[in-house]
Amino acid sequence: MKACKSVVTGGAGFIGSHLTEKLLTDGSEVVVVDNFSSGRIDNIKHLMKNPLLRIMRSDLKKPRRLRELFQECDVIFHLAANPEVKVNETSTRVHFEENIVATFNLLEALRLVDEPKVVVLASTSTVYGDARQIPTPETYGPLEPISTYGASKLSCEALLASYANTFSHRGLILRLANIIGPKSNHGVIVDFVRKIRSNPKCLEILGNGTQTKSYLHITDCIEAISHLTDRFCNQKENIDICNVGSEDQITVREIAKIVAREMGTPDIRYVFTRGVNGGRGWRGDVKNMRLSIKKIVETGWKPRYTSKKAVELAAADLSKSSSVA
3-state helix/strand/coil string of the chain: CCCCEEEEECCCCHHHHHHHHHHHHCCCEEEEEECCCCCCHHHCHHHCCCCCEEEEECCCCCCCCHHHHHHHCCEEEECCCCCCHHHHHCCCCHHHHHHHHHHHHHHHHHHCCCCCCEEEEEEEHHHHECCCCCCECCCCCCCECCCHHHHHHHHHHHHHHHHHHHHCCEEEEEEECEEECCCCCCCHHHHHHHHHHHCCCEEEECCCCCCEECEEEHHHHHHHHHHHHHHHHCCCCCEEEEEECCCCCEEHHHHHHHHHHHCCCCCCEEEECCCECCCECCCCCCCEECECCHHHHCCCCCCCCCHHHHHHHHHHHHCCCCCCC
The reply to whether 230 falls in a domain is yes
Considering the domain architecture, whether residues 152 and 191 belong to the same structural domain is answered as no
- The domain of 270 spans 186-213+248-288+306-318
User: How many domains, the chain?
Assistant: 2
Confidence check: pLDDT of 40 > 90: yes
Residues 275 and 257 in one domain: yes
pLDDT surpassing 80 at residue 3: no
The answer on 197 and 63 residing in a single domain is no
Which residues are known to be catalytic?
149
Q: Specify if 163 maps to a domain.
A: yes
Is the residue at 325 inside a domain? no
What's 263's domain CATH number?
3.90.25.10
Mean pLDDT of the chain: 95
pLDDT tens, position by position, 14-33 = 999 999 999 999 999 999 99
In a domain, 300, yes or no: no
Answer whether residue 323 shows pLDDT above 90.
Answer: no
Model pLDDT for residues 211-238, shown as the tens digit of each residue: 999 999 999 999 999 999 999 999 989 9
pLDDT greater than 70 at residue 136: yes
pTM of the model: 0.96
**For the residues 92-97, what does the mean pLDDT come to?**
88
- Of 157-166, 168-177, 195-204, 274-283, least confident by mean pLDDT is 274-283
Res 10: pLDDT: 97
Question: Do 133 and 271 share a structural domain?
Answer: no
**Residues 276, 222: one domain?**
no
208 and 219 within one domain: no
The answer on 12 and 117 residing in a single domain is yes
What pLDDT score does 87 carry?
62
